[in-house]
Chain A
Amino acid sequence: MHRSQIHPAIRACLYALLALGAFVMLLPLAWMLLTSLKTFPEILRSPPAWLPAHPQWENYRTVWNGFAYYRFFLNSTFVAVMVIAGTVLTCCPAAYAFSFYDVRHKELLFGALLSTLMLPAQVTVIPLFKAFAALHWINTYLPLIVPAWLGGNVFGIFLLRQFFRTIPKSFIEAARIDGASEWTILWRLIVPMSLPAVLTVVIFTFLWSWNDLFNPLVYLHDESTYTLPVGLLYFIARAEQLTGGSAGLVPWHLVMTLATVMVLPIIVVFAFAQRRFVEGVAASGVKG
């Protein structure tokens, strides 16, 4: 941008600040990585060893072999893809409707939708569980996915609406005069203009779905259906078996190994999405 305007000393400070912050952010992750390379005795020692005496790369093999990681990974991916698709396909139209249509009691209706953000999930789960059980949806992915296809991500609607509202209505009027249908205006004009916002919603939805522990725990009972976070809990118990231990002493080195493996795809996806994200922001200018 205006690179020339920044004084070299300020630039140096800027980088120092960024680097210091980054160090603080990464330190716990480094600890996680180091822990994942230790032996069980090194974990048990008090205080725990700083560095692994000999990096235990076998820990990764142990985790991979002793635990159906790929299965949980595929399950998590499937759920995330379906949830993201449903979120985008229902949240964009809803946000569009709430941004650009003058319908009576629209604000009231939107306020009601928004209020669900504040309702603790624990409250709705018992009535919902009863309903899903009656539908024979228990032990299937439908309870995790169907809400997303019915605008369940109210946060997404809210965020998209915040962005849509900054688009001047004259754009839409002009498109209407050109004869474009509302559906076309939404998907060919508004969504491309708001790509950064849509991508933000996609990323958030992905992370929530990927890291959600509560719902899979309640609705999935068969090990072959588990997603990664439930798998992690399952693993903490299972890992004791791999080390020959039993309740009480959790082999955190293996848990950290798994956590590292579990986080890795997220980092990759995010690094990729990040670029798209920045490009999207640069390409469309939300303010129009």
Chain B
Amino acid sequence: MNLRHREPLLWSAIVALAVAGFWWAGRAPAPEPADGRKVITWISFITPLRDYYEAEVAAFERAHPNVHVRIIWAPQSEYHMKFKTLAAAGQAPDLFYSGDVWLRYLMPFMRDLTPLVKRDDAEIGLDDYFPPIRAAMQQDGRYYVLPETTNVALLYYNRRLFAEAGLAEPNEAWTWTDLVRAGQKLTHTERDGQPGVWGCSRVEGWWGEWLIYVRQAGGKVFSPDGKRCTLDSPEAVAGLKFFAEKSSRYGISAPAGFEPLNGFVNQRVAMIVGGHTNYWPNYNQVPALDWDVQILPAGPASRRGGELAIAGYAMSKTARYPEETWQLLKFLTRRETVAEVVARGGIAVRRSVAEAHLRNLRPSDRPRHMAAVYHQMDFADPIPRDAHFIELMLKIVQAEIDRMILGELTPEEAGRRAAAAANAFLATFGSSDS
């Protein structure tokens, strides 16, 4: 090998290619419009309704020619990571998703919409929103969110499985006892080559179901001043106990981890307590699934406690063009949007749209008891308002619940340990709350 041999040409080519590469890499892919339009950024989950939203934005831009809306589509699982990294870099999006679960969590970024809401009340029609929805839009009497849709916890059931078990369908007078009794009749192991059926689902991994029982048993997550976690109270423990005993004592739910995949859709689970309205289109995709809903069965202390969560939009404190962003926010939550939500199989947050919906129900529509859905709003409660609620529930409390349904902890122990850990957290991180 001749070591004196050099290749200046080769190295020049490499340098030239590298320079070209860096030029390409550094080019901004989405240049801001140079035509002087005001740019509003909107961060949104990637959703099945994406085409609809893009059409909406196009319509908005036609109505407001001086505005350009840039949508940042983020996968749902990474949405908050992306949001907060952008905020940390001083580039918080002008418009973003928020619901009441997120309301306290994202509040530090939110603009108080109250003056704008009051100014445009004639256009918005606050009275048209159901009272619990209106409550969910506010914090301490100030408005922060305009809602697009909502989820209400309900009792879901499979009509075919009820008929086969010779059971009457759930009614408005149902209690936990009725739930257990029906669940036991519905539960059976594999027979005639047909797979087994569980009477009732059990939601694992988050608070979706157990929080309903805790509240229906008279328990609360937080003390009235919001400074302490009270999951160790006897009432809360009674709720946790029912959640555990659905499987360990009554045998109406599968042991932890053994619930069949997509059990309700596959007709291997007959009931769901809580559930989510987002799944309705999925259920309706399976023609053999004859399902319906009823208001939640009452617990020992109350029928109240089912969750009501709105999904809507908030405006960033740092929005550069608040008036234009507000126009977009109103546009995205206007009456036509709410009607569109219903048309696609969801729940109306506005009374006028809901009433029209109920009048025009067809016999083939599922669920058939739409009246029960809106009736359940009278018994529903928003998620406990605490800036750290999501973290407390998912990161701190849930591990103890997991261990309880595995039989490693009694409900008393689970409640005590959960409350102790949550209180240690609140003592350290709770003070920034506001």
Q: Could you tell me which A residues sit within 8 Å of B by CB distance?
A: 41, 44-48, 78-79, 81-82, 85-86, 89, 125-126, 129-130, 133, 136-142, 144-145, 149, 175, 178-180, 184-185, 188-189, 192, 217-218, 221-225, 230, 233-234, 236-238, 240-241, 243-249
Contact = CB atoms under 8 A, between A and B. Distances in A.
B63 to A, nearest CB: 25
Interface centre among B49, B73, B260 (most CB of A within 10 A): B73
A233 B25 contact: no
A41 B289 CA distance: 13
Given A46-B261, A244-B285, A85 B21 contact: yes
Contacts of B82: 217-218, 221
Given A46-B268, A189-B3, A245 B88 contact: no
A180 B2 CA distance: 9
Contacts of B46: 234, 237-238
A234 B282 contact: no
Nearest to B77: A233
B26 A222 contact: no
- Chain B contact patch, size range: 35 or more
Contacts of A188: 1, 3, 5
Given A140-B27, A246-B279, A82 B73 contact: no
B363 to A, nearest CB: 22
A141 B89 contact: no
Nearest to B15: A89
Interface in B15-34: 17-18, 21-22, 24-30
A171 to B, nearest CB: 11
B423 to A, nearest CB: 28
B93 to A, nearest CB: 10
B418 interface: no
A233 B86 CA distance: 19
Given A126-B88, A243-B285, 14 more contacts: A44-B261, A44-B262, A89-B18, A125-B85, A133-B89, A178-B4, A188-B1, A233-B77, A234-B75, A237-B46, A238-B46, A246-B278, A247-B276, A248-B278
A1 B278 CA distance: 64
B263 interface: yes
Interface string B60-103: 00000000000011011110011001101111000000000000
Contacts of A82: 21-22, 25
B266 interface: yes
Nearest to B276: A248
A45 B90 CA distance: 47
A234 B88 CA distance: 23
A185 B5 CA distance: 11
Interface string B32-66: 00000000000001111111000000000000000
Contacts of A180: 3-4
A164 to B, nearest CB: 17
A249 B25 contact: no
A274 to B, nearest CB: 25
A85 B266 contact: no
A89 B26 CA distance: 20
Interface string B143-163: 000000000000000000000
Q: Is the interface of A mostly helix, strand, loop or mixed?
A: helix
B281 interface: yes
B6 interface: yes
A31 B261 CA distance: 17
Contacts of B1: 188-189, 192
Contacts of A230: 75
B265 interface: yes
Contacts of A79: 25
Given A223-B73, A237-B45, A249-B265, A85 B18 contact: yes
The 7 closest A-B pairs by CB, nearest first: A237-B46, A133-B89, A180-B3, A141-B25, A241-B48, A233-B75, A46-B260
Contacts of B75: 230, 233-234, 236-237
Contact of B266 (A45, A137, A224, A236): A45
A24 B78 CA distance: 33
B356 interface: no
B3 to A, nearest CB: 4
6 contacts: A41-B286, A82-B25, A138-B91, A244-B48, A247-B279, A249-B262
A43 B221 CA distance: 38
B89 A130 contact: yes
A129 B91 CA distance: 11
Contact of B282 (A46, A136, A245): A245
Nearest to A239: B48
Nearest to B278: A247
A46 B262 contact: yes
Contact of A222 (B17, B30, B88, B268): B30
Contacts of B6: 184
B278 A184 contact: no
A188 B49 CA distance: 58
Nearest to A175: B3
A225 to B, nearest CB: 5
A142 B26 contact: yes
A224 to B, nearest CB: 5
A115 to B, nearest CB: 25
Nearest to A183: B6
A243 B17 CA distance: 43
